[in-house]
Amino acid sequence: MRIQVINPNTSQGMTDKIATAAKAVALSNTTIIATQPQHGPSTVESAFDEIIASAALMDEIQTGIEHDVDAHIIACFGDPGLDAARELSSVPVIGIAEAAFHMASLITRRFSVVTTMSSTLPTAHHLLDRYGFSQMCASVRATDIPVKELESMTSTLYSALYHECLLAINDDGAEAIVLGCAGMADLVARLSSALNVPVIDGVAAAVKLAESLDQLGLRTAKSGFYAAPKPKAFVGRYQHWSKE
Amino acid sequence: MRIQVINPNTSQGMTDKIATAAKAVALSNTTIIATQPQHGPSTVESAFDEIIASAALMDEIQTGIEHDVDAHIIACFGDPGLDAARELSSVPVIGIAEAAFHMASLITRRFSVVTTMSSTLPTAHHLLDRYGFSQMCASVRATDIPVKELESMTSTLYSALYHECLLAINDDGAEAIVLGCAGMADLVARLSSALNVPVIDGVAAAVKLAESLDQLGLRTAKSGFYAAPKPKAFVGRYQHWSKE
Amino acid sequence: MRIQVINPNTSQGMTDKIATAAKAVALSNTTIIATQPQHGPSTVESAFDEIIASAALMDEIQTGIEHDVDAHIIACFGDPGLDAARELSSVPVIGIAEAAFHMASLITRRFSVVTTMSSTLPTAHHLLDRYGFSQMCASVRATDIPVKELESMTSTLYSALYHECLLAINDDGAEAIVLGCAGMADLVARLSSALNVPVIDGVAAAVKLAESLDQLGLRTAKSGFYAAPKPKAFVGRYQHWSKE
Amino acid sequence: MRIQVINPNTSQGMTDKIATAAKAVALSNTTIIATQPQHGPSTVESAFDEIIASAALMDEIQTGIEHDVDAHIIACFGDPGLDAARELSSVPVIGIAEAAFHMASLITRRFSVVTTMSSTLPTAHHLLDRYGFSQMCASVRATDIPVKELESMTSTLYSALYHECLLAINDDGAEAIVLGCAGMADLVARLSSALNVPVIDGVAAAVKLAESLDQLGLRTAKSGFYAAPKPKAFVGRYQHWSKE
Amino acid sequence: MRIQVINPNTSQGMTDKIATAAKAVALSNTTIIATQPQHGPSTVESAFDEIIASAALMDEIQTGIEHDVDAHIIACFGDPGLDAARELSSVPVIGIAEAAFHMASLITRRFSVVTTMSSTLPTAHHLLDRYGFSQMCASVRATDIPVKELESMTSTLYSALYHECLLAINDDGAEAIVLGCAGMADLVARLSSALNVPVIDGVAAAVKLAESLDQLGLRTAKSGFYAAPKPKAFVGRYQHWSKE
Amino acid sequence: MRIQVINPNTSQGMTDKIATAAKAVALSNTTIIATQPQHGPSTVESAFDEIIASAALMDEIQTGIEHDVDAHIIACFGDPGLDAARELSSVPVIGIAEAAFHMASLITRRFSVVTTMSSTLPTAHHLLDRYGFSQMCASVRATDIPVKELESMTSTLYSALYHECLLAINDDGAEAIVLGCAGMADLVARLSSALNVPVIDGVAAAVKLAESLDQLGLRTAKSGFYAAPKPKAFVGRYQHWSKE
C-alpha cells in the first residue's frame, strides 16, 4: 500500500525526520510518501499557526487523492485538519496524536504526554477529550523546547525531555509516555531504554494503524459526518477549490 | 466603540444581512464595521469549508487590528477561528454561537438550536460541549436549507424553519430557540411572535456582549492560552504572516 | 430601563457598596434601584443563611414586580433564590455569580474564583457545575475573610485577597480572577492593576447583561421550568403569598 | 430511637399519611414524631414553593433539636433544605428522595421515578445528579396529578399513576419504580403487586436509613461543609435566629 | 432474618473478623452466617486474585440460596462478583464497598477511602464511578499494608493507617473516612475516636442495609439486568453449574 | 509472531470460526494459535457466565505464557478477564470489543454496536465507557439471537441481524456497524456489502492491533496497574496458582 505522510509545517528537516520514523516501522510492501505543504508556517505552536497550516494541508491531501494513495497521515501532534481531510478523501486519514493515544491505551491504564511548548497543552487536552482518552491520561507536560530546536537536539534538550518524563512517571503515576511532537520520533528507543517504560511515537503508531485499516478493508465512513463537502464557489487564493 | 463584524464567507448578501442585524441593536455610539474575506468559500457548511474560511478570516482580523477596532465578532454559527483570533488580537473576539448560547442560558433552562444543513450538527454539538451549555440544550435540529438559499427566503423555507422550531418546542421540550445561522437574523421577530417563545439571534447577542465587555473595561486575557503567537517564518501564500 | 439590584442580606453598608458598583457601569438611561430585605441574616455564609435570605428575597422580587422594574439582579455570589425569582417575575433575573462566569468565559480559557469564607466553596463549585463553567475554572480559593469585614477593608485584608489571587495565577494557572463576593466590587480596579490580569466583579457584569437582554427584547421563557408558581394557600408568616 | 419526620408543607392530611408510612416500617423501639411547619405553602410544586417551605422547615428542625431527636427526615421528594438542616443539627438528616434512590440502586441497575407535576421534573433530575444516581435512572415521568389531589386518590388518579409506571417499565427499561411524592406512600403495595417490579417509597426508606445510621453510631460530619452556621444577627421575621 | 456474610478469600482469620463485625451491629433477630470459599486465593489484591475469588464465591452464593438465606453480603472491598451474584440469587446481595459509600454519602459531602495496597486503588476508583459516588470522594489513599498483615495488626501498622487518614483529612479535605478493607473492621471505634471524624466500615454498613431492604420487603429486580442466567452446559471443573 | 487467540467459552464450533477470522487477516509471518478453555460455560451471555469463563480463561493465558506467545487475544465481545490477563502476562493482551471500538473510531464519528442477547447490553455500555468511546456510539442494539445459534446461521437469523443494523443506520444515525459477538465474524463482508457502510469485526481488528504493537516493540506496561500479581497461597481447585 501507499501511505502519504504529511508534515503540516514547512520545515524540510522535520519532514525528513518523520519520513525516517515512518519507514522504520512500515511493512516491506508499504510505500511511504513523505510530504509537506508549499505554504504556511515553519512550525505549529499556536491556534493561529494551526489554522494556517490546516488550510495549506488541504492542498497536500488533494495531491494525495490525485496520486491515489491508500491512506493519509497527518504528522503533527495537534492532528490539524483531521475532520476536513476525512471529508475530502475517501481513504483513511490518521492523526499522529490519536494514533499514539490508541496504542497507549492498549498497553497501559495511565499514560502521560510529554510535549514541546506549554502553549500546545490546551490542544493536547482537547484531543484527549475528543477521542475519549482523558480518563487514561495521568498528565500532559511541556518541556518548553521550541519545535524548531528539536531538529538539532543537543544533550541539554534531551535532558530536559528526559527529566519531564521522569516527573510524569514519579509524580503523576504515568505507566507509559506518549511523545507529543512528530519531531521527537528519533528519541523513542533512547528514552524507553533510559526510563524503562513504554514510549510511544505517533508517527510510527499511525503507520501501523493505516496498514491495519488497509488490510481489514476499512475506509472512512462517507455516509454521515465525513461526507464529501458540497461543491461550491471559492474565490481569491482559494479559487482552485471552486467546483460550482 | 467600533466593532468589526466579520462574515467569514464571501457572500456579500450575507454580509449585508449581518450588518443590518448588528446595527439594529447597537448603541448609538457604537460603530458597526461589517466585512468579509477576499478569499474562501461562498458558504460554510462542512469542516473543509470551515478550515479554508478560518484561514481567510485571519486576514480580516489583522485588518481590524490595524484599524484599531475595539472588538471583533465572528458572524458564522460555527465560531470558526475563534481561538486563533483571540491569540492575534488583544481586544475581545466573540463568536455568534457562543453569544447566542450565553443569552439563552440567562432566560431559559432548556433551549434548542435550529440550524441549516444536517452536516453542521456535529459542529453545533461540539460548541455546546466546549462552552459548557450541552446540559441546557434540548436538541439541535436541522432544516436542511442550504445556507445560500437563506438569502432569498421564500415562504416555503420559512415554513420549514417554523416547523422545525415547533418540533423542538413540542417534542424536545425547548423553552426558547437559538437560530443556528447568521443568515437567519432577519427572522427573529417573526418567529418569536409566531412561536410565542424567546428566539435568539447570535449576531445581535454578540454585539451586546462586545459592548458590555467594552464598558466593563475587560479584554482577552493574554497571559495564557490566548498569548500572541510566537513570530516565525511563513512561506508561499502565507508569507505576509512571516515575522521572523 | 430600571434595574432592581437586590442585596439579599440585611447589611446597609453592603447594599450601598453594591449600588455604587452598579451605577458605575450602568448606561446613562438605566436607573439602578438598590434594595435589601427587611428580614433575614446580616450576611450569607452558609446553606442555612442562604435558605433564610432566599425566602426574604422573594418579598423584594415581588416589590420589584409591583414597581414594574425591567430586570432584577440578585447581588450575592451564591445566586440565592434565582430559580424561584425567575418563576415569580416575567422580566429577566440575573445572579452575580452567573454574570461573572459568563463574562470570564468570553475573555479567558481558565479563570479562578477568589472568595470569602471556605464554607462557601461548595456553593461556588455547585454553581460552576450548574451553569456549565467547571471546565474553565482553574480553582476556587477562599481568603477566610468574613463577609462583614469586607465593609471596612483594611490593608491586611487587601493583602490576604491579593495573595490568594496571586496563588491562583501562579499555582493554578488562572488567566483571570472572578471576585466571589458582592462586597469586593470596589477592589476590581486596584486588583486588576496590581495583578495584570482581568478581574471581574459580578455586580457590574450583571448590570451589563440585564441591559443587553433588555435591548435585545429578551425575557425569561415562561413556558417551561420558569412558569409562574401555581396559586395556592400559604399560612402563618407567609400568608401574604396566599392566592387560593 | 426518636425520629422526627417533617412534612415540609402545611397539609395535615399529608402529614398523617407520612406518619402512617413511617410507623409501618419502624422498629418496635423507634418512635416516629411526625410534624409540619406552622408557616408556608399547602403543597410544594415549584422552586418558589420550595424556597418558602425550606425557610419554614428550619424552625421544625430547631424544634427537633430542642427535643433531642436522634434523626430528622425531610418528607418531601425535593429534599428541600437538606444541606441547611445538616448544618443546624448534629444528628443525621435524611431526605426521602435520596433515601429512595439509595435503596433503588441496591436492587436494580435502572429505575424510573414517577412523580406528580411536570414542574417538579427538573428538581428530580437535579437531585439525581447531585447524589450521583443519574446513570441508573431510566426516566423521570410526571402524571400531572396535583399533589393536593393525592390525599383523596380516586381510581382515575390511580390509573394515571399505574399507566405512567407501565410506560417507564415498557418504554424506558425501568426495572423498578421510585415514587416521587411522599403522598404516594400508601400505594406501594398495590402498585408493586400490579406491576410485578419493586416499588420504592422514600418515607419508608428514610426511616430504615435513619435507624441504620443510629445503630452504626454515625452522625453528620461537622468538620467541613456541614459545620454549624456562624452565629450572626437576623432581623425582622427571622429575628429568632439571631445569635450575635 | 438470616444474612450470609461471605469473605471471598480463604483466610479463616479474616472470616472470623468479619463475623465479629457483622454480629456487633446486627439486630437481635438477625442471624449472621459467616462463610468463605473452599477454593481460591488467601487474599484479594489484584485483578487476577479477584477473577479467581469471584468464581469461587459463586459456589458460596449457591450454598446460601440452598439454605434459604434472606440476603448475601460480599465482604471484600472490591465487591467481587456482585452482578453475577445478583443474577444467581433472588434475595438482595450487597457489597461492602457500596454499603460504605452509601452510608458515607448520607452524613458527609466529601469522604476519603483509606485502603491497603496501592494495587487496589484503580478498583476503588472504578467502584466509586460505577456507583456514582466519585464526586463525593476527596481521595483514595493506600497504606501499602498487605491484607494478610491486617490479621495481626501491630502498633506500627495502626500508625501507618492513622497517618494516612490524617493526610486525607488535612490535605484532601475529607470530612469522614471509609475503611477500604474488610480486615479493618475492628479499628473503627479506635480510629474514629482518634481522628474525631466519622469512620465507616463496610461490613457493618452492609448488615444494616440488608436488614433495611428486608424490612421494606425489597428484593433484587429480576426483570432486567439481574435476570437469572440462562441454563446452559458447563464443562470441566465447572460442570456442577451445568443445567442444560 | 505467534498470537494466541482464546475463545473464552467451551464451544469448539465458535473456536473454529474465530480461528478462521483471525487467519484471514493475519500477515504471512503471523501464526494464529486458536484455543479454548477446558472448563466453563458453552457460551457467555450473563455476568455469571463471564465470571466463570474468566477464571477458566486464566489457565489458557498461563498456557500461552508457557508457550512464549507474542500476544494474547480474548475473543469474546465482553473482553472478559482483560485486566487480570494483562497482570499475568508481559506480552500484549487485546480484547475484541476494544479492538473493534478502536478501529471504528478511526473511520467514523458515530458507530453502532449490534449484538446478540439483550442481556449483554449493559456489558457493552460498560466497555464503551471504560475505553472512552461512549460519545462515539450511536446505539447498542440486540438481535436476541442466542450465541449458540450463531454457529448454524440460518437465513432467518441473518435477516434479524441485517434488520437491526438497518435500524441503527436509519434511526440512530450510525455511520458504521461494530459486530458485537465473535461468532458473527464470518458475516462482515456480506453485511458490509448489503448495508453499504463499514462493518467491523473485533477478531480481525484485534489481530491487526496485536501485530502492530509487536512491530512497534510495545508491550504492556508492568510498572503500575498491570504489575504481576503478588505470589500467594491458593487452595482447592485453584491450588495450581499457589506460589507462596
Q: Quick one: pLDDT band at residue C166, thresholds 50, 70, 90?
A: very high
Instruction: State yes or no: chains A and D have 3 or more CB pairs below 8 A.
Output: no
Residue in D with minimal Cα distance to E197: D221
Sign of the four-CA dihedral C135, C138, C144, C147: negative
Residues 6+ apart with CB under 8 A from D27: D211, E27, E215
What are the chain D neighbours of C241 within 8 Å (beta carbons)?
41, 52
Lowest mean pLDDT among A102-116, A127-141, B141-155: B141-155
User: φ and ψ at D165, to 5 degrees?
Assistant: -60, -40
Distance of CA B83 to the CA centre of its chain: 13
Domains annotated on chain E, with CATH: 2-95+204-241 (3.40.50.12500), 97-202 (3.40.50.12500)
Pair E6, E69: CB distance under 8 Å = no
Q: Is C194 on the interface with D (CB under 8 A)?
A: no
Q: In the predicted model, what is the mean pLDDT of residues C177-199?
A: 92
The pLDDT value given to residue F36: 97
Read off the pLDDT of residues C36-95 as tens digits, 9 standing for 90 and up.
999 999 999 999 999 999 999 999 999 999 999 999 999 999 999 999 999 999 999 999
The pLDDT value given to residue A127: 94
Residues 6+ apart with CB under 8 A from B232: A41, A42, A43, A45, A49, A148, B242, B243, B244
What are the chain F neighbours of E232 within 8 Å (beta carbons)?
41-43, 45, 49, 148
The pLDDT value given to residue D198: 98
Q: Which of D132, D134, D209 sits opposite E212 (nearest CB)?
A: D209
Count of CB contacts below 8 A, C vs D? 141
Lowest mean pLDDT among B99-113, C118-132, E97-111, F52-66: C118-132
Q: In the predicted model, what is the mean pLDDT of residues D174-197?
A: 92
Find where cell 445538616 sits: D86
Read off the pLDDT of residues D21-39 as tens digits, 9 standing for 90 and up.
999 999 999 999 999 999 9
Q: Is D225 on the interface with E (CB under 8 A)?
A: yes
Pair F229, F242: CB distance under 8 Å = no
CA distances from E116 to A121, C216, E77, F83 (A): 35, 60, 10, 20
Q: Which amino acid is at E170?
A: N
Read off the pLDDT of residues D219-230 as tens digits, 9 standing for 90 and up.
999 999 999 999
Interface test with C, best of D51, D127, D130 (most C CBs within 10 A): D51
Residues 6+ apart with CB under 8 A from F154: none
The pLDDT value given to residue D152: 72
Find where cell 447597537 sits: B26
What are the chain E neighbours of D196 within 8 Å (beta carbons)?
223
Q: Which amino acid is at F208?
A: K
Determine the length of chain D: 244
Look at B225 and C108 and tell me if their CB atoms are within 8 Å.
Answer: yes
Read off the pLDDT of residues A7-46 as tens digits, 9 standing for 90 and up.
999 999 999 999 999 999 999 999 999 999 999 999 999 9
What are the chain A neighbours of B45 within 8 Å (beta carbons)?
229-230, 232
Q: In the predicted model, what is the mean pLDDT of residues B185-195?
A: 92
Pair C11, C148: CB distance under 8 Å = yes
Q: Is B236 on the interface with C (CB under 8 A)?
A: no
What is the DSSP secondary structure assignment for residue A68, as one 8-state letter? Answer: T
Q: Quick one: pLDDT band at residue E175, thresholds 50, 70, 90?
A: very high
State the maximum Cα–Cα separation within chain D, in Å, rounded to a whole number: 57
Q: Which of B78, B43, B77, B40 is nearest to B60 (CA)?
A: B40
Read off the pLDDT of residues A145-189 as tens digits, 9 standing for 90 and up.
876 777 676 778 888 899 999 999 999 999 999 999 888 888 899
Q: Quick one: pLDDT band at residue B182, thresholds 50, 70, 90?
A: confident
Q: Reply yes or no on whether the pLDDT at E190 is more than 70.
A: yes
Q: Which amino acid is at A149?
A: E
The pLDDT value given to residue A157: 80
Lowest mean pLDDT among A109-123, C76-90, D95-109: A109-123
d(CA E98, CA E207): 12
What are the chain E neighbours of D209 within 8 Å (beta carbons)?
106, 212
Read off the pLDDT of residues E195-238 as tens digits, 9 standing for 90 and up.
999 999 999 999 999 999 999 999 999 999 999 999 999 999 99
Pair C140, C172: CB distance under 8 Å = no
Q: In the predicted model, what is the mean pLDDT of residues C185-202?
A: 94
Q: Which of D122, D234, D237 sits opposite C41 (nearest CB)?
A: D234
Q: Is A176 on the interface with F (CB under 8 A)?
A: yes
C-alpha distance from E235 to closest chain D C-alpha (Å): 30
Q: Is C170 on the interface with B (CB under 8 A)?
A: no
Look at B52 and A235 and tell me if their CB atoms are within 8 Å.
Answer: no
Q: Which of C136, C200, C216 sits opposite B25 (nearest CB)?
A: C216
Q: Is C228 on the interface with B (CB under 8 A)?
A: no
Q: In the predicted model, what is the mean pLDDT of residues C210-218?
A: 98
Read off the pLDDT of residues E67-121 as tens digits, 9 standing for 90 and up.
999 999 999 999 999 999 999 999 999 999 999 999 999 999 999 999 988 888 8
Find where cell 468574613 sits: C146
Q: Which of B27, B94, B198 sits opposite C106 (nearest CB)?
A: B94
Mean of pLDDT over chain B: 94
Q: Which of D176, D215, D221 sits opposite E25 (nearest CB)?
A: D215
C-alpha distance from B211 to closest chain C C-alpha (Å): 9
What is the DSSP secondary structure assignment for residue A230, as one 8-state letter? Answer: P
Which chains, if any, share at least 3 CB pairs under 8 A with chain A?
B, F
What are the chain A neighbours of B234 within 8 Å (beta carbons)?
10, 39-42, 52
Which A residues, 47 through 86, put their C-beta within 8 Å of a C-beta on chain B? 47-52, 54-56, 58, 81, 83-84, 86
Q: Which of A110, A133, A216 sits opposite F208 (nearest CB)?
A: A216
The pLDDT value given to residue C101: 98
Q: Which of E54, E119, E232 sits opposite F227 (nearest CB)?
A: E119
Pair A73, A210: CB distance under 8 Å = yes
If phi over 0 gives left and psi between -120 and 50 gives alpha, with beta otherwise, what is residue A48? Answer: alpha
Read off the pLDDT of residues A192-225 as tens digits, 9 standing for 90 and up.
999 999 999 999 999 999 999 999 999 999 999 9
Look at A102 and F98 and tell me if their CB atoms are within 8 Å.
Answer: no
Q: Reply yes or no on whether the pLDDT at B137 is more than 70.
A: yes
User: φ and ψ at B132, to 5 degrees?
Assistant: 95, 15
Q: In the predicted model, what is the mean pLDDT of residues D90-107?
A: 98
Q: Reply yes or no on whether the pLDDT at C224 is more than 70.
A: yes
CA distances from A139 to A170, C206, F226 (A): 11, 37, 19
Look at C107 and B200 and tell me if their CB atoms are within 8 Å.
Answer: no
The pLDDT value given to residue F216: 97
Beta strand C234-235 pairing with D40-41: antiparallel
Which segment, A124-133, B175-184, C54-63, E114-123, is predicted with the most confidence on average? C54-63
Could you tell me which residue, E159 or B168, shows the higher pLDDT?
A: B168
Q: In the predicted model, what is the mean pLDDT of residues E108-135?
A: 91
Question: Can you name the residues that pair with E95 across neighbouring β-strands?
Answer: E74
Pair C218, C92: CB distance under 8 Å = yes
Q: Reply yes or no on whether the pLDDT at E151 is more than 80.
A: no
Run of H or E including B167: helix B155-172
Look at F92 and A103 and tell me if their CB atoms are within 8 Å.
Answer: no
Question: Can you name the residues that pair with F31 across neighbouring β-strands?
Answer: F2
Q: In the predicted model, what is the mean pLDDT of residues C209-222?
A: 98
What are the chain A neighbours of B225 within 8 Å (beta carbons)?
119, 122
Q: Which three cell numbers stand for residue F221?
A: 506496561
What are the chain A neighbours of F25 within 8 Å (beta carbons)?
215-216
C-alpha distance from E194 to closest chain D C-alpha (Å): 14
Q: Which three cell numbers stand for residue F140?
A: 447498542
The pLDDT value given to residue D153: 67
Task: Could you list the beta-strand ranges (E) of chain A.
Answer: 2-6, 31-35, 40-41, 71-74, 93-95, 111-115, 137-142, 176-179, 199-200, 234-235
Which A residues, 103 through 162, put their C-beta within 8 Å of a C-beta on chain B? 119, 122, 146, 148
Could you tell me which residue, F34 or B183, shows the higher pLDDT?
A: F34
Q: Reply yes or no on whether the pLDDT at D177 is more than 90.
A: yes
Q: Reply yes or no on whether the pLDDT at D193 is more than 90.
A: yes
Q: Which of A103, A108, A133 sits opposite F216 (nearest CB)?
A: A103
Look at C236 and D10 and tell me if their CB atoms are within 8 Å.
Answer: yes
Look at C51 and D122 and tell me if their CB atoms are within 8 Å.
Answer: no
Q: Which of C25, C198, C224 sits opposite B219 (nearest CB)?
A: C198
Read off the pLDDT of residues F151-189 as tens digits, 9 standing for 90 and up.
676 778 888 899 999 999 999 999 999 999 888 888 899
The pLDDT value given to residue B153: 67
Q: Which of D135, D211, D225 sits opposite E110 (nearest CB)?
A: D225
Look at D224 and E175 and tell me if their CB atoms are within 8 Å.
Answer: yes
3-state secondary structure of E5: strand
The pLDDT value given to residue B152: 72
Look at C216 and B204 and tell me if their CB atoms are within 8 Å.
Answer: yes
Count of CB contacts below 8 A, A vs B? 139
Pair D179, D199: CB distance under 8 Å = yes
Look at F215 and A208 and tell me if their CB atoms are within 8 Å.
Answer: yes
Read off the pLDDT of residues F212-231 as tens digits, 9 standing for 90 and up.
999 999 999 999 999 999 99
C-alpha distance from A164 to closest chain F C-alpha (Å): 18
Pair B146, B118: CB distance under 8 Å = no
Look at C229 and D46 and tell me if their CB atoms are within 8 Å.
Answer: yes
Interface test with B, best of C72, C90, C106 (most B CBs within 10 A): C106
Which E residues, 6 through 45, put their C-beta within 8 Å of a C-beta on chain D? 25, 27
> What percentage of chain A's residues is helix, strand, coil (to nearest 5)?
50, 15, 30
